[in-house]
Chains A and B, each alone.
Chain A
Amino acid sequence: MKSLKTSIKIVVPTLFLILSTAFFIVFSAQAGTLAAVYIFMSRLKAGLDGSGANAVQFILAIDTATNIPTAGTITIEFPDDEDTSWCRTAGALTVTAVAASAVDLTGTTWDIDSALPTSGTLTAACSQGGAGTVDTITISSVGSLTAGTTYGVQVASSTGVLGTNGTTGEHEVTVTAASGVTLDSKSFKIYLLGDDAVVITATVSDMPTVVCSISSNTVNLGTLYPGGAYATGGHTISTSTTSSGYYWAVYGTGDSSTDAGLYKSTATTHLIPSGATATLDLTNATIYGFGLTLSDPDSTDPATVAPNFVDTTAGTFGTIDRLYSGAKLVLSQSGTQGSAENSTVTYGAKAGSSAPAGTYQETVYWICGGYY
């Protein structure tokens, strides 16, 4: 019984001493989990050999949970059964500290705050795994890392050649930042695809096209005074074509029975007609009606305004007719018109002295096409 007590007196303090010592040994390594880390790979296709168009590079963003002293390293380790597939050729790699990447998530810890600091010159190399070792990329001469700051570094092939493993799906990698006994690390998975590229094809058609535009669908002609002067309003039309020319034709609606022109559809109905003559000289006191002119889109090009619709004589307007059958060709051009060219359309209207008061309106249809 005495010997048992003696044994307890020796064993218990000894155990306590051992456990206490072990506790201090474990925590003296100061290992932690990285606060944030991502690898932004240039290619996600499985089985890339790293040559030519199959070259692989990546940006590593890393935020440690603890402060890592200067002169440290960052290592990226790949699965043991994937040796020589990530590090296709062992050797030095090109390494560049970067302060941003395209996949940064602003406002989170996955947002690079600063380029990876150096303690001299940053270097990187990849080594191939074998029995008991794995493919490893090591970045050396890393400066001191402050916890809570996300650092960025870009790694690309050089003498050493980076590739990807040949199996699609998840591949676990471990990133470790260490300096002396201080280290933070984290494992996560990279997903490789059977094909990471989408081939987009398109054909530029050789079929002729024509594009026609009108700047406004409504033209306010203001106030007309019975027997007064003529009023005007306008918009532009523009055209481009890839074929052998374009044309514009126009017809009106009027009173839907006799002629095109401004029509008052409420009682007492009245038509300010476009008229039977080719042109209307609205500066003439005895002439009233509705017509329009177009400006020549160009002075030298083949675009031509029909003679009775040219805008060279102020107050003289070409007249239009009703319905499709009354469509009049007003502007045409031979040959290609690569960029849109404009013509200003001016409507002119004058009310006769017998025109009753009210709202007068006309709907003009502009037809545009390419020659066939």
Chain B
Amino acid sequence: MKYNGILLLPVIILLLSVYPSYAQIALSIGVSPTSKVIKLNPGESYSDEIVYWNLSQEADTYRVFISGFEQIENQPGTAIILTAEEDAITNYSASKWVTVSKDILELEPNKNVKLQYTINVPTDTTDGEFNVEIFLISENAYQQQGTAAFTNLAAGTPILIQIGDDYVQNAELLRFVADKKVYEKIDVNFLTTIKNLGDMHITPTGEILIQNIFRQEVARIPFNKNAQSLLRDTLGNYEDNWTQSGYLTPSKAIALGPMKAKLMVTYRSFQPGFAVLASETTFWIIPWKIIIAILTVLLLAIIIRISKKKIEKRV
């Protein structure tokens, strides 16, 4: 009895402690441009603007952050700012070069707000690519009562700043595989990992050629059709999907059995054909349900035929 009271007490307190009082507002932010690539020289200054807008019914307040950025979970083309500590030690951050016109932006509903920024490149900057993101995070006045999850909205404009003309574009293909070895239907995800070894971002492009056992081309799909870029000194995972409703291509090539996929990727902005990343992978397409159904029908037909013959012999 005493123990029951001890167990009930926290439950009662937990129930009594709930104050469901919340000020719920919607958050919205539009950004243009979504990214920017600039070529500058040491000592040069550059000014431009980023436009923001808010499509919600309430005004939202956003705080402006300036920091170097990295990719999110090795996903090319994504950006998340670094913490202050990380930004201080990274070699490629241009956050100290950038000044903005405002630290806080009040985004009124359906109204464009411009944020001017200036990039001053130090005179002693070495050639290569540096990055910075002008990043906005909402500041909400939610009431701190009750058990709840609060949400903040953040969006930014990654800026890639190329300094000088003396740079290296180099990359290595680390992986090219299909996500499974056997497929029942044609819904194949090709997983590719590329490491950028140069001092510029790269935007790999290319094709994946798929052949059947007779070396007939059954499909040709674009690699990295989003043109997602890979930052310097990082690796990126790309995923490309091949989907087809039937097992026959328009050119009557059959997409069944052992298949081979060939990847051809270029990434250099100058003479891309001299630096091709290539690889192959294999997988199987086996429509086992259809095969089992056909085999079952055949088996039944054979059994029926044998049974009929036996009956005829007896007669």
Separation of A266 and B14 alpha carbons in the complex (Å): 13
CB distance from A159 to the nearest CB of B (A): 50
Contacts of A359 in B (CB 8 A): 17-19, 144-147
CB 8 Å contact bits of A34-69 with B (1 = contact, 0 = none): 000000000000000000000000000000000000
**Would you call A221 and B147 a contact (CB within 8 A)?**
yes
Q: Which of A214, A218, A249, A357 contacts B22 (CB 8 A)?
A: A218
CB distance from A268 to the nearest CB of B (A): 11
**Would you call A213 and B81 a contact (CB within 8 A)?**
no
CB 8 Å contact bits of A148-186 with B (1 = contact, 0 = none): 000000000000000000000000000000000000000
- A258 on the interface (CB 8 Å rule)? no
Query: A15-23, A72-80, A188-196, A223-231: which one contacts chain B?
Result: A223-231
**Would you call A369 and B34 a contact (CB within 8 A)?**
yes
Q: Which of B25, B30, B81, B150 contacts A210 (CB 8 A)?
A: B30
Q: Are A366 and B152 also in contact (CB < 8 A) when A262-B147, A332-B75 are? A: yes
**Would you call B31 and A361 a contact (CB within 8 A)?**
no
Count class of interface residues, chain A: 35 or more
Separation of A361 and B17 alpha carbons in the complex (Å): 13
Query: B97-105, B209-217, B221-229, B253-261: which one contacts chain A?
Result: B221-229
Q: How many residues of B contact A (CB 8 A)?
A: 67
Contacts of A323 in B (CB 8 A): 83
- A208 on the interface (CB 8 Å rule)? yes
- B140 on the interface (CB 8 Å rule)? yes
Q: Which of B17, B56, B144, B149 contacts A357 (CB 8 A)?
A: B17
**Would you call B29 and A218 a contact (CB within 8 A)?**
no
Q: Which of B14, B144, B158 has the most CB of A within 10 A?
A: B14
Separation of A263 and B94 alpha carbons in the complex (Å): 35
Separation of A250 and B96 alpha carbons in the complex (Å): 26
CB distance from B207 to the nearest CB of A (A): 16
Contacts of A356 in B (CB 8 A): 10
- A212 on the interface (CB 8 Å rule)? yes
Query: A81-89, A122-130, A132-140, A240-248: which one contacts chain B?
Result: A240-248
**Would you call B144 and A215 a contact (CB within 8 A)?**
no
Separation of A325 and B153 alpha carbons in the complex (Å): 16
Q: Are A335 and B226 also in contact (CB < 8 A) when A210-B34, A217-B26, A368-B154 are? A: yes
Residues of A at the B interface (CB closer than 8 Å) are: 205, 207-226, 233, 235, 241, 243-245, 247, 249, 262, 290, 323-325, 327-329, 332, 334-335, 347, 349, 355-372
Question: Nearest 9 pairs between A and B by C-beta?
Answer: A370-B34, A372-B35, A371-B77, A357-B13, A357-B14, A211-B30, A213-B28, A209-B32, A207-B33
